[in-house]
């Protein structure tokens, strides 16, 4: 069996996500960290759901719980693992670099460091597609925003202060682009998060890290091969462009036969299927039970 795991980032969280997820110890621990009794009911409140600290803590905890419930049903281990933005915390755990409890504890600290930066310069993210690269670069420079995430082809996400994002969106729409403001209230993966990356790096200095047990690909540093590079990459990506296009290429080079996205929505699975149509990808949100997910993986990864 040869498959890859991709862990989602924030922005597509919704109350009906992961419909098969059981209320286990990791889920209960996540709710306790957030001071809530029912995470689905909490997500029904858009204001609560879009808060950076709530989203990062919840999505990391639920991703850890989801993989914890799936892993006993799936043999062998994945051939490759990657995480999108905050999804790297769960990805590093799934690859054996940090313990699940450590990843869960780090999520609110990561969010706190980012929120401190955002308090000084409120910002966000803007997805843009359907525009040429030269035109995109022109409006990016003129608006004063940065490239936060490269998804491949004409699909990018810009980040920056709110006023600058409004200017970028206005110019992009005038140029015929499609624009979507993401449900994220910080300028993730831009230089406005540099102090957050430095703060998180200091936090990670005392955290036990291990060499990955499977091929692990980072948003900021290609393949992670040892503990020190993992520690550096996990902090650096907060203020650097997420090179998701390269992550997908690196995973594809492992010659996996299928891909499973763990987290809310199907964004990563859709991007994968557009880029690599010969290797099927599905999202956990597509299924009603862990057994169904394991059966799908087995039916494709064993070919």
Is the same domain home to 283 and 150? no
Identify the band that residue 221 occupies on the pLDDT scale cut at 50, 70 and 90. Answer: confident
Neighbours of 130 (CB within 10 A): 13
End-to-end CA distance of the chain: 8
Residue at which a domain ends, from 161, 181, 201: 181
| CATH number of the domain that residue 168 is part of | 3.30.70.250
Task: Mark whether 42 and 94 lie in a shared domain.
Answer: yes
Which pLDDT score, from 0 to 100, does residue 239 have? Answer: 98
Name the residue range of residue 114's domain.
3-118+190-301
Q: Is 82 exposed, middle or buried (0-12, 13-18, 19+ CB in 10 A)?
A: buried
Mean of all residue pLDDT scores within the chain: 95
pLDDT of residue 75: 76
pLDDT in tens, 138-196: 999 999 999 999 998 778 999 999 999 999 999 999 999 999 999 888 999 999 999 99
Position 227 scores a pLDDT of 97
Same domain, 237 and 147: no
Using the predicted structure, report yes or no on whether residue 303 has a pLDDT greater than 70: no
Shared-domain flag, residues 56 and 86: yes
Closest to 182 measured CA to CA, from 162, 197, 200: 162
Percent of the chain residues topping a pLDDT of 90 = 91
Clarify whether residues 80 and 135 are in a common domain: no
pLDDT digits (tens, 9 = 90+) for 268-295: 999 999 999 999 999 999 999 999 999 9
**What are the E-state strand segments in 48-169?**
80-83, 123-129, 146-152, 155-161
pLDDT at 243: 96
198 with 81, same domain? yes
Q: Give the burial string for 84-105 (b: 16+ CB within 10 Å, else e).
A: bbbbbbbbbbbbebbebebbbb
Predicted TM-score of the model (pTM): 0.95
In the three-class reduction of DSSP (H, G, I as helix; E, B as strand; rest coil), residue 130 is classed as: coil
pLDDT tens per residue across span 246-270? 999 999 999 999 999 999 999 999 9
- Does 251 lie in the same domain as 140? no
Q: What percent of the chain has pLDDT above 70?
A: 99
Q: How many domains does the chain have?
A: 2
Buried b (16+ CB within 10 A) or exposed e, 178-201: ebeebbbbbbbbbebbebbbebbb
* Same domain membership, residue 97 and residue 218: yes
Q: How many CA atoms lie within 13 A of 22 on its CB side?
A: 9
Tell me the CA distances in angstroms from 13 to 40, 195, 250, 262, one per residue in order.
Answer: 10, 27, 26, 12
Identify whether residues 229 and 294 lie together within a single domain.
Answer: yes
Q: State the average pLDDT over residues 54-76.
A: 95
List of residues 6+ apart from 165 with CB closer than 8 A: 123, 124, 125, 126, 143, 145, 158, 159, 181
Residues 112 and 27 in one domain: yes
Do 177 and 194 lie in a common domain?
no
């Amino acid at each position: 069996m040869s498959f890859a795991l991709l862990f989602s980032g924030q922005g597509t969280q919704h109350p009906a996500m992961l419909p098969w997820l059981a209320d286990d110890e990791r889920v209960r621990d996540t709710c306790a960290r957030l001071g809530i009794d029912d995470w689905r009911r909490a997500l029904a409140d858009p204001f609560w759901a879009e808060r950076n600290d709530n989203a990062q803590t919840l999505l990391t905890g639920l991703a850890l719980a989801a993989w914890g419930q799936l892993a006993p049903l799936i043999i062998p281990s994945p051939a490759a693992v990657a995480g999108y933005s905050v999804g790297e915390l769960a990805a590093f755990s799934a690859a054996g670099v940090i313990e699940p409890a450590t990843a869960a504890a780090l999520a609110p600290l990561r969010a706190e460091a980012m929120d401190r930066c955002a308090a000084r310069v409120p910002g966000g993210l803007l997805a843009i597609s359907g525009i040429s690269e030269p035109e995109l670069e022109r409006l990016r420079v003129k608006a004063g925003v940065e490239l936060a995430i490269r998804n491949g082809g004409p699909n990018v996400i810009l980040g920056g202060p709110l006023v600058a994002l409004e200017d970028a969106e206005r110019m992009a729409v005038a140029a015929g682009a499609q624009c979507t403001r993401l449900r994220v209230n910080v300028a993730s993966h831009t230089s406005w998060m540099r102090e957050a990356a430095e703060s998180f790096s200091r936090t990670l200095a005392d955290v036990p890290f291990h060499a990955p047990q499977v091929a692990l690909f980072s948003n900021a540093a290609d393949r992670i091969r040892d503990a020190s590079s993992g520690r550096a990459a996990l902090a650096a990506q907060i203020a650097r462009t997420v090179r998701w296009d390269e992550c997908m290429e690196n995973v594809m080079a492992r010659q996996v036969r299928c891909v499973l996205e763990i987290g809310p929505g199907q964004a990563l699975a859709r991007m994968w299927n557009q880029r690599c149509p010969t290797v099927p990808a599905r999202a956990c949100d597509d299924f009603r039970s862990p057994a169904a997910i394991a059966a799908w993986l087995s039916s494709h990864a064993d070919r």
